[in-house]
Chain A
Amino acid sequence: MVTLTIDGQEVTVPRGTTLLKAAESVGTKVPHYCYHDGLSSPAMCRLCLVEVEGAPKLQPSCVTQAQDGQVVHTGSPNAEAMRRGVLEFYLVNHPLDCPICDQSGECKLQDFVHAEGREHGRSREPKRVFGRDDFGGDVLFYGDRCVMCTRCVRFMNEVEQDPRLTVVERGNRSVIDTFFERGLDGTNWSGNIVDICPVGALVSKDFLYKQRAWDLDHTPSICPSCSQGCNIDLHTRDNLVQRLKPRTNLEVNAHWMCDHGRHNYEFMNRGDRIEAPLVKEGDRHTEVGWKEALSTMLDRAREVGGTVRAVASPFSCNEDLAALKAVVEALGGGEIVYRLARAEEEIPLKGMPTLARRRDLAPNGTGADALGLERVGDDDGTGGLETVSSHDGVVLVLGDALQDQAADFAGGASLFVYLGTHASEAVQGGDFILPVTTFAEQEGTFTNRVGRVQRFWPGLQAPGAARPAWLVLGAVASELTEAEPANTAAEAFSRWVASNEPFAGLDYASLGTRGASMNEPVSAAGD
């Protein structure tokens, strides 16, 4: 450990810590472009210069290591003047097209110039023009806006380890380019370069001109596209998810997410939702209120009795699955199965061995397994429901839309209850069709492939009368067992924890936004 003084504040940091990180630990943010936590430090943007007493020149804080007794001034007149100078240099050629730039509002050049820059730039000379280039994949390049931090080049070289980008030419003719016509097509992680670009030089085609950054609400969530459990933010507006961005969690996904996950959000915005509880009367379904639907359903359930067979979904959170299990047990017990699509192979991120787009294409297969649910069906997530479909007792379906099933699904069941978001043909035979929320509309937790339990929050409002499944099923279970129902997600979570030994001791609040591992991590092998 070394002890140094930063802006008059004494701080002790591990040996090898950079001044930039040491300053961050006392709450001083030194502006920077080329430095990124997940990449190497070329110290070339020269924006993080700070004054170190005794050093002949200003030092780049991103590579200068803290030393015992060092006295550092991040805001000395000289350091501020030089940083102001560097910012002025950026504006010599950076176009002020903020009104039509997607990055506007989350642009580091805007931020730093507003914070430290000159009120008026002195450049009167014509700016150089590079124009726009399609880099392939989802990435569009606006050369004029580039601040030449080379984060994108380094990401492709160091993290994706598929060198597709480079700096061509030199001096102020330097420009980022692809190799001939190869571009970024076929890469699986290149969407991250849009995130790490500090300005609007690299933008997403998918998001191009779609929304202004400052209009978006950010909701911490978990990527539902595979069992890795990447931490993400839902960026929403008008009750629609507009884009997904990775959220930093060094233990799961660091700063990254794959392009498949990033672009798989339209299903959260699907419009044809079940919006009210439906009760079957004759061969028609009638909309009713929740109270009536549940009391009628409970009456029917008590009346028909018999064994239960249930289908769950690995897209449902731990709380929903636990509530389903409680209902099945209250009805006399029975088996619960789930289906999960499986990709042919993993898509690894070479620079981060613990991160990949996993084969299991759902967020909570591990949570389902931990509750004793049985995985059935094939690698497309279809089939395997013959015993459920032909069951003559109670059939419960949660979350699985039964897309591959025929209209006579569970035709012989004494009671067929469907809780879901969309009604496929197979659902039409349901005695009760109950609307539940998606993960984007409710609170809950997923258990990723290595047993890490991570929370997500609602970013969208649920349509109509849709309610979280844990709330609906919890109410049903409490009626059947005369126990107190769970009224909050936290209560639902503690019931799930209580019923699952491996998760004992986990506390909802302290999971925070980063999650925690269950007591005995499940083996990640064989995934």
Chain B
Amino acid sequence: MAYPYVSDREVRILSKHFGDPAARTLEGALANGRYEALKKALEMDRGAVIEEVKTSGLRGRGGAGFPTGVKWSFMPKDSGKPHYLCCNADESEPGTFKDREIIRWDPHQLIEGCLIASYAIGAEHCYIYCRGEFFEASSILAKAVEDAYQAGYVGKDILGSGVNVDITVHIGAGAYICGEETGLMNSLEGRRGQPRVKPPFPAAAGLFGMPTTVNNVETLAAVPHIVEHGGEWYRQWGTEKSPGTKLFCVSGHVNRPGNYELPLGFPLKDLIHDVCGGIRDGNALKAVIPGGSSVPILSAEESEECALCYEGVIAAGSMLGCASVIVMDETTDMVKQVRRMAYFYQHESCGQCTPCREGSAWVTKILRRIEDGRGKEEDLETLVEVTTQMTGTTICVLSDSVAAPVQSSIEKFRDEYLALIRRGERVGAA
């Protein structure tokens, strides 16, 4: 098994064929049983497909963790309007690289998921919005979609069922904010990639003003398995509130970073020390970001008891997000780390809401000043207050994402800030 690293504690459902180039081709995919679930779904009632997904308890893998079946059921039944499915493949959260791998290794799994979801919500057109930097992944996906069209899995009258679903692969221009579902829709429509005010929610007025569902790549990739084996089957893994398996993108100071598919509820401690082979160079763990750069940082102590499920990470004081685990050892300069994350957000802020536009840049400037040794102790209080003013006051949650790492790092690593401010001491500076 060559795929960068694997572990015997994994439950490989979505990632079963990672590392196998043959799985990319239509022939390979068919040999792996792809499109069997589609056949089954097309024989089911639309409502029954939604019910099956509801039964599975599948939650959105993009970060918010909203139950997918419930989201689908928000789509109007007899609107008389065209419905759309958007597959969010604008995977840009720092630390996240799971969707890219699904697309690269098993694109037909995603296409099948898109087709089943489109059928369930009554959409005849699905847009897969790929991150602009996904050069390799998007070309693999485009090829796979073309093959699937040729084979009659996509397009008009799929497999003689009378169901039509077109799939368009759209490549973004490289903006983090276009991964926000309404920003994604604006971008698809050719507008400025800025999130929209909700309400109206996408299920009422989304892409081109029509009822729309936006789902993450990993969510849609899980759907064929649920349809094929049933919702109850999916529940054999995970916890009551977080059923199933999840891809964990582990990066940072571990010996074996990579994608690992684990049942939800898996202990974070085991992920780091067992699955990933522990901290590099035998160093001590300092902090973990469990769900991508937008969530609060966990200290080493907090990570000890943390279970990697939606409710478990909340209990530990953070959020599961998209399960992008960034591990930091004792040599990490937290101030620099947080400043770099703030810089990312100020660079990616779309600029429409004042608190985010001005606040993210202001926070970055303060952090830069502290990092350069020109900080003052009152800056910490200012940072906390400014980020508080940025929380819950904007259209989307990018602004809140700046606040999470800043506030949690000041709370948990205040001494490190103070050592830098008072004595110019930095971690890892030697």
Contact = CB atoms under 8 A, between A and B. Distances in A.
Contact of B352 (A44, A88, A123): A44
A46 B197 contact: no
Interface size on B, as a range, is 20 to 34
A125 interface: yes
B353 A172 contact: no
A57 B392 contact: yes
B47 interface: no
A330 interface: no
Contact of A92 (B175, B362, B393): B362
B360 A172 contact: yes
A186 interface: no
A159 interface: no
A230 interface: no
Contacts of A63: 197
Given A93-B358, A170-B175, A60 B197 contact: yes
Given A46-B355, A174-B357, A125 B369 contact: yes
A368 interface: no
Nearest to B192: A167
B348 interface: yes
B366 interface: yes
Q: Is the interface of B mostly helix, strand, loop or mixed?
A: helix
Interface in A118-177: 122-123, 125-126, 128, 147-148, 150, 167, 169-174
Interface in B174-195: 175, 177, 192
A89 B362 contact: yes
Interface string B315-352: 00000000000000000000000000000001111111
Contacts of A301: none
Interface in A271-330: none
B283 interface: no
Contact of B389 (A60, A85, A172): A85
Interface in A48-65: 49, 56-58, 60, 63
A43 B230 CA distance: 43
A147 B353 CA distance: 10
A125 B355 contact: no
Given A82-B389, A89-B389, A172-B360, A167 B354 contact: no
Contacts of B284: none
Residue of A43, A82, A172, A174 most packed against chain B (CB within 10 A): A172
Interface size on A, as a range, is 35 or more
Q: Is the interface of A mostly helix, strand, loop or mixed?
A: loop
B393 A58 contact: yes
Interface string B355-381: 101111110011001000000000000
A123 B389 contact: no
Interface in B372-417: 382, 385-386, 388-390, 392-395
Nearest to B177: A170
A411 to B, nearest CB: 69
A348 B349 CA distance: 38
Contacts of B348: 170-171
B365 A173 contact: no
Contacts of A49: 393
A58 B360 CA distance: 20
Given A89-B357, A150-B352, 20 more contacts: A44-B352, A44-B354, A44-B395, A46-B353, A57-B392, A81-B389, A85-B389, A89-B355, A90-B354, A90-B358, A125-B362, A125-B369, A148-B354, A169-B351, A170-B175, A171-B348, A171-B357, A172-B346, A172-B357, A172-B358
Interface of A: 42-47, 49, 56-58, 60, 63, 81-82, 85-86, 88-90, 92-93, 122-123, 125-126, 128, 147-148, 150, 167, 169-174
Interface of B: 175, 177, 192, 197, 346-355, 357-362, 365-366, 369, 382, 385-386, 388-390, 392-395
5 contacts: A45-B353, A89-B355, A92-B362, A148-B352, A150-B352
